[in-house]
Amino acid sequence: GESVGLHLPTLSVQEGDNSIINCAYSNSASDYFIWYKQESGKGPQFIIDIRSNMDKRQGQRVTVLLNKTVKHLSLQIAATQPGDSAVYFCAENKRGDSSYKLIFGSGTRLLVRP
């Protein structure tokens, strides 16, 4: 079936290193993708998004890469900081039925070691 998934449930990185969080999607019709960050006790917070007509998009310390050939999405965090510790979700926009429903993956927990 159509789904959004993550390769690794937990990622541990040293403070200052770069982090890469991966996500696979299976719906080739999806044309919009979002990364969310969820800190403990809080709601998901928008980080960055990308449309399918782009391969790469950069924000502040974050970069999202989209590889449509293999249906793969990644979130890169530069110089990871303790405040980056959270669960990260990718989500895809599934077109159809004239709706814009987001389908979320199960999340990857990022742990930043001091």
* Size of residue set near another protein by CB under 8 A: 22
For residue 10, state whether it binds another protein (rule: CB under 8 A).
no
Q: CB–CB of 13/80 below 8 Å? A: yes
Phi, psi of 15 (to 5 degrees): -55, 135
CB of 54 to another protein, least distance (A): 14
Q: Report which DSSP code applies to 64.
A: E
The tokens for 12 are 């541990």
The residue among 25, 1, 26, 21 whose CA lies nearest residue 11 is: 21
For residue 26, state whether it binds another protein (rule: CB under 8 A).
no
For residues 63-72, one letter each, b for 16 or more C-beta atoms within 10 angstroms of the residue's C-beta and e for the rest, the string is: bbbbeeeebe
Stretch that binds another protein, among 14-22, 28-36, 58-66, 75-83 (CB under 8 A): 28-36
d(CA 77, CA 19) in angstroms, rounded, equals: 5
CB of 30 to another protein, least distance (A): 12
Q: Which of 22, 24, 49, 65 binds another protein (CB under 8 A)?
A: 49
For residue 88, state whether it binds another protein (rule: CB under 8 A).
no
- Binding residues for another protein, per CB under 8 A? 4, 32, 34, 36, 41-46, 49, 89, 91, 93, 99-102, 104-107
